[in-house]
Amino acid sequence: MQNFNYGSLFLAVDATAILLAVIVAIVFAIAGGLIGWFLKNNSFKKKQGDIKEVTDKMLDDAREESRKIKKEAILEAKEQELKLRNDFERESKEKRAEFQRIENRLNQKEESLDKKEELLLKRNEETTRQQNVLKQKETELDKKLTDIGEQHDKMIAEFEKIAQLSKEEAKAQLIENILDDARRDAAGMVKNIEAEAKEEGERKAKEIVSLAIQKCSSEQATEITVSVVPLPSDDMKARIIGREGRNIRTLENATGIELIIDDTPQVVIVSGFDPVRREVAKIALEKLIQDGRIHPARIEETVEKVKKELEQQIKEAGESAMFECGIFGLHPEIIKTLGRLKFRTSYGQNVLKHSIEVSRLAGLMATELGVDVNLAKRAGLLHDLGKAVDFEIEGTHMQIGGDIAKKYKENHLVVNAILAHHGDVEPKTIEAILVQAADSISGARPGARRETTTNYVKRLQKLEEISSSFKGVEKCYAIQAGREVRVMVKPEQIDDAQTLFLAKDIAKKIEQEMEYPGQIKVNVIREWRATEYAK
């Protein structure tokens, strides 16, 4: 029995221990759960704080980005507005300019219409005046018819008075009266016919003499005023003339030279008193013939190109003359001006060759006298420098040449020799006197100069100068050996109605200021061109 109790006690102790262990386990589990829950709760709160902080930051970034986007949008809108405003102002300015051009054209047309209306009014007045004159003549005719009727009545009365005469006597008296009247009328008619014949004869005589003088002048000037351009075939003549003459007209207007296309086989004659313009026309025509493309635009392009090439030739001619005379150190502009003398003549003598000749003669004499050879040759080469531009600048060629030499820092002794080579200025050196002598020797040698040719060229230059003196004239050319002058006007300044008055004014001034054989034809040409580019 005692043994049983010890066993039950051991069983009770074991059960209590197990229960305590379970309770402890439960307590630990609950404590662990509480600790876990507590830890979990604290982590959530921490994460919640982090999330709020991140959210606040994202909101701040979003607000900042929104402000930036808004600011950029405002700037872009302002730029767009400024661009639109500039485009609008530019288009408005262009429209205003276009409207102004249209208004100017309308004003020009209105002025032209006013002038035409004025001309029509004048014509109407002239017509009215002529009608009045006709009415007056009709009145006079009616009066004469009335007088004739009265005379007829008187004659009837006379017939009635002499009716008592025999038939033969009345007839004889009537015939005698008629014959007397006829003789008086015939005498008056013969006198008028003789006067008219005399006047017509004098006019015809003057015209014949003038034409003879003109032909003589043309023949004497032909040698230095025409160039001949050979053609590959006669078919080329039609291409040079062009449709309705537009090609030949464009070439003549661009160069100021007349083209003579006649029955001479495979030849075109280039005529003009200005050798530079004639050379430009000749070279341009040769290039066009070689190229084969002959039309107005190509002609103008070729002429401009040839002018530039000729400028280079002029420069080379000046350099060649300088080296030929053994002179160095000339200013480039003086060399260029010197080269232009290649296309200048004085009394039929080429001025550049004359200048080289004077330089050599002066140098030879300076060598014999033992003075400055270089100075003498330099002054001799430059003594006629002013003749290269004397038709463009007022003054004598000595003064013009001296001014050019001064401008480009030439030696003052050379300037004095240029000014003194015709005795207008006192020579300061022996070299200047030698230049005078050399100039006289070169010009006086047999066949060096021809007076008539220079006078002819001066007359043509005077003709172009008079034609260019009027307002609105763009350029003018004397052609046909001085029998015709072509005047190109600026279309924006001279209208069609004014061209007629301009031609009359030019012709009147030529009559007043020039002496010339025969008559001079004045052609005023007005051409309007509109150019636009497709882009």
The mean pLDDT of 176-193, rounded to a whole number, is 67
Residues 6+ apart with CB under 8 A from 518: 207, 210, 211, 213, 214, 483
Q: How confident is the model at residue 517 (pLDDT cuts 50, 70, 90)?
A: low
Same domain for 466 and 432: no
Model pLDDT, residue 16:
57
SS3 labels along 77-123: HHHHHHHHHHHHHHHHHHHHHHHHHHHHHHHHHHHHHHHHHHHHHHH
Model pLDDT, residue 81:
85
Q: Cβ-count burial of 267 within 10 angstroms (0-12 exposed, 13-18 middle, 19+ buried)?
A: middle
Same domain for 394 and 358: yes
Is position 153 within any domain? Answer: no
Is position 303 within any domain? Answer: yes
Q: Using an 8 Å Cβ cutoff, are 421 and 415 in contact? A: no
Same domain for 98 and 64: yes
Same domain for 519 and 404: no
Model pLDDT, residue 381:
92
Same domain for 469 and 441: no
Per-residue pLDDT of 225-251, as tens digits, reads 667 778 888 778 888 888 888 888 888
Handedness of CA 152, 154, 155, 156 (dihedral sign): positive
Model pLDDT, residue 42:
61
Model pLDDT, residue 237:
81
pLDDT exceeds cutoff 80 at 82: yes
Domain boundary residue, one of 92, 124, 156? 124
Model pLDDT, residue 172:
73
Full residue range of the structural domain in which residue 497 is found: 458-526
Model pLDDT, residue 348:
64
pLDDT exceeds cutoff 80 at 318: yes
Domain boundary residue, one of 252, 281, 307? 307
pLDDT exceeds cutoff 70 at 1: no
The mean pLDDT of 315-341, rounded to a whole number, is 88
Per-residue pLDDT of 428-454, as tens digits, reads 999 999 898 888 877 765 444 544 456
Whole-angstrom distance, CA of residue 254 vs CA of residue 477: 10
Q: Hey, what are 225's tokens? A: 């005023």
pLDDT: which is higher, 118 or 532: 118
Torsion-angle region of residue 71: left (phi > 0), alpha (psi -120 to 50) or beta?
alpha
Model pLDDT, residue 220:
35
Is position 82 within any domain? Answer: yes
pLDDT exceeds cutoff 70 at 300: yes
Could you give the 3-state DSSP secondary structure of residue 524? strand
What pTM was computed for the model? 0.43
Same domain for 242 and 211: no
The CA radius of gyration of the chain, in Å to the nearest whole number, is 54
Q: How confident is the model at residue 185 (pLDDT cuts 50, 70, 90)?
A: low
Q: How confident is the model at residue 378 (pLDDT cuts 50, 70, 90)?
A: very high
Q: Which of 77-86, 195-204, 328-337, 483-492 has the lowest mean pLDDT?
A: 195-204
Same domain for 502 and 439: no
* CATH number where 266 lies: 3.30.1370.10
Same domain for 65 and 107: yes
Is position 79 within any domain? Answer: yes
CA–chain centroid gap for 354, Å, is 34
Q: What percent of the chain has pLDDT over 90?
A: 5
CA angle centred on 147, ends 146 and 152, rounded to 5°: 95
Is position 462 within any domain? Answer: yes
Please provide the average confidence, as pLDDT, over all residues in the chain.
78
* CATH number where 411 lies: 1.10.3210.10
Per-residue pLDDT of 7-19, as tens digits, reads 554 444 455 556 6
CA–chain centroid gap for 72, Å, is 55
pLDDT exceeds cutoff 50 at 3: no
Model pLDDT, residue 283:
87
Residues 6+ apart with CB under 8 A from 524: 487, 489, 499, 500, 502, 503, 506
Same domain for 361 and 281: no
Q: How far is CA 73 from CA 65, 66, 68, 80, in A?
A: 12, 10, 8, 10
pLDDT exceeds cutoff 70 at 43: no
Q: How far is CA 505 from CA 155, 510, 520, in A?
A: 58, 9, 13
Q: Cβ-count burial of 307 within 10 angstroms (0-12 exposed, 13-18 middle, 19+ buried)?
A: middle
Is position 315 within any domain? Answer: no
Same domain for 395 and 365: yes
Domain boundary residue, one of 222, 253, 271? 222
Residues 6+ apart with CB under 8 A from 258: 252, 270, 271, 272, 479, 480
Whole-angstrom distance, CA of residue 97 vs CA of residue 421: 58
Is position 471 within any domain? Answer: yes
Is position 183 within any domain? Answer: yes
Model pLDDT, residue 255:
82
Q: What percent of the chain has pLDDT over 70?
A: 76
Per-residue pLDDT of 139-164, as tens digits, reads 888 888 888 878 777 776 776 666 56
Model pLDDT, residue 306:
87
User: How many distinct structural domains can be found in the chain?
Assistant: 5
Model pLDDT, residue 76:
84
For the sheet with 473-479, list strands across it: 473-479, 484-489, 521-526
pLDDT: which is higher, 223 or 405: 405
Same domain for 120 and 2: yes
pLDDT: which is higher, 225 or 255: 255
Whole-angstrom distance, CA of residue 347 vs CA of residue 353: 13
* CATH number where 486 lies: 3.30.300.30
pLDDT exceeds cutoff 60 at 167: no
Which helix (H) or strand (E) segment is 484 a member of?
Answer: strand 484-489
Same domain for 382 and 480: no
pLDDT exceeds cutoff 50 at 209: no
- Give the CA-trace dihedral at 317, 321, 322, 325, to 10 degrees: 170
